[in-house]
Amino acid sequence: MAHFDPNAKPFSHKWLNERLGVDTLKRVLSTEYWIPKNINFLWAMGMVLAATFGVLLISGIFLLMYYVPTTKEAFDSVNYTIMSQVGYGWLWRHVHAVAASVVFLIIYIHMLTGIYYGSYKRGRELIWISGMLLFVAFSAEAFSGYMLPWGQMSYWAGMVITNLFSLGSLNLNGLVEWIRGDYVPGQAFLGRFFMLHVVLIPLFIIGLIVLHFGTLRLPHVNNQDGEEFDFEAEAEKWKAGKKKEAKVIPFNPVFLSKDVFVMGIYFIFFFYLVFYHFEFAMDPVNFDPANGLKTPPHIYPEWYFLWSYEILRPFSKNIGLIAFGFAQVIFFLLPFLDRSPNVAPANRRGIFKIWFWLLVVDMVGLTILGKLPPVGTWTIVGTVFADIFIALWIALPFVTKMEKPIGGK
């Protein structure tokens, strides 16, 4: 039964508590949201990602004030107005470009941590799936943002990627022209990708982040040993003052202080890149204005898309597309392809340990190969690495089916 104290001062703690339930909110979302003690710095990547998304949002808002989404003015509004006229415009651009690149590095670390520790099983399937949806949304956000400076790489990446939707021999050119709103990327194309980049996809991302946090609340985060324990019982120990015995700590302030420490280290690295090595996130080819009559000598995506690009490249058109499609969706199925009941770090899971490290080496290899020109021996090596990627995923259910249960389960 609601009760409102007529003497409570407006906006005092009591006043807010009666109207908003701030104490309950704080308890459920932070001070009694329990995190296992047995974790390491890799568990801080989620908050690092959230902070990086915040940095992208803020720097993006400042860029948005001077960017002009027309094919005639876009290039100059970025490279002249923002870079040399707007006070500190260069700062927002370099922060935005570096954050867009580094966010994928952290996403990959976050994903590989999840795979290594089996954090996608036993009630945590939706965490994995919502995370993969976020990966797709971030990829779309990165691609649409890459179109905006309207340089040579913007134009030709737009051309190549939208051509994928003709779906090989199905020749759906009408669909491609519909996506572009023109026969080639032009004003209609730039306008709609601008809209996607600044409104629609960010809205999806924010919604998905909320969902991702939501999926985490009931199953709780995994720990370094994949140990399953009673969070409520452990929480009681903590609340009774037996902090040493309890296997859990509250999210706020205890775990958050660890997150803040890792974030501190991360942001030193981040701003080092922003101020001294921003050029790695700024492809020189994109400093030429878009020209539909001249292909750059070698078209390649940003580093974070190279592995999937390399899976597309070495094959003939249709097989390449099928392989590419496979690479895009297969990670979603991970919780169902892993047939082993074990939730444990990969190094205790026998043959899965080999599978995990092969996957890492293969994806790093594909990334390196994706940057090399598609000639001679590299084409053959690329085919081998792409074949290994597909073979690894086909082998996963069999490899994990044979795995012995850990701890006599």
Which stretch of DSSP H or E encloses residue 36? strand 34-36
Q: What string of DSSP letters covers 216-264?
A: HHTT----TT-----HHHHHHHHHTT-TTT-SEEEIIIIIHHHHHHHHH
Amino acid of residue 374:
P
- Residue 259's identity, in one-letter code, is D
Residue 406 near residue 349 (C-beta atoms within 8 A): yes
Tokens representing residue 300 in the block: 């390649």
Question: What's the distance, Cα to Cα, between the start and end of the chain in Å?
Answer: 48
Cα(348)–Cα(178) distance, integer angstroms: 51
Stretch that binds other proteins, among 186-194, 252-260, 348-356, 395-403 (CB under 8 A): 186-194
Between CA 346 and CA 360 the distance in angstroms is 12
Work out which of 287, 315, 326, 332 binds other proteins, going by CB under 8 A. Answer: 315
Q: Out of 19, 277, 317, 339, which residue is the one contacting other proteins (CB under 8 A)?
A: 317
Residue 371 or 404 with smaller CB distance to other proteins = 371
Choice from 80, 90, 178, 336 touching other proteins (CB under 8 A): 178
Among 19, 72, 277, 294, the residue binding other proteins under the rule CB under 8 A is 294
169: contact with other proteins by CB under 8 A: yes
Residue with Cβ nearer other proteins (70 or 295): 295
Question: Would you count residue 175 as binding other proteins (CB under 8 A)?
Answer: no
Shortest reach from residue 203's CB to other proteins, in Å: 16
Q: Least distance from C-beta 311 to other proteins, angstroms? A: 13
Chain residues 105-164 in contact with other proteins, contact rule CB under 8 A: 156, 159-160, 163-164
Residues comprising the chain, all counted? 409
- The separation between CA 346 and the C-alpha centre of its own chain, rounded to angstroms, equals 22
**Based on CB atoms, which residue is closest to other proteins, 47 or 167?**
167
Residue 298 binds to other proteins (criterion: CB under 8 A): yes
Give the total of residues touching other proteins (CB under 8 A).
37
Q: Does 313 bind other proteins (CB under 8 A)?
A: yes
The Cα 222–Cα 225 span in angstroms is 8
Query: Residue from 32, 37, 68, 168 that binds other proteins (CB under 8 A)?
Result: 168
Tokens of 84: 């040399």
Residue 295 interacting with other proteins (CB under 8 A):
yes
- Whether the CB-CB separation of 33 and 91 falls below 8 Å is answered with no
In terms of CB distance, is 178 or 229 closer to other proteins?
178
According to the binding rule CB under 8 A, does residue 183 interact with other proteins?
Answer: yes
Nearer to other proteins among residue 85 and residue 318 (C-beta): 318
The answer to whether 81 contacts other proteins (rule: CB under 8 A) is no
Neighbouring residues of 13: CB distance < 8 A, sequence distance ≥ 6? 22
Q: Does 289 bind other proteins (CB under 8 A)?
A: no
- Give me the half-sphere count of Cα atoms (radius 13 Å) on the Cβ side of residue 170: 12
Q: State the minimum distance, in angstroms, from the CB of residue 299 to other proteins.
A: 5
Neighbours of 198 (CB within 10 A): 19
Q: Which of residues 344-403 bind other proteins (CB under 8 A)?
A: 373-375, 379
Interacting residues toward other proteins by CB under 8 A? 156, 159-160, 163-164, 168-169, 171, 177-184, 186, 188, 192, 292-299, 313, 315-318, 320, 373-375, 379
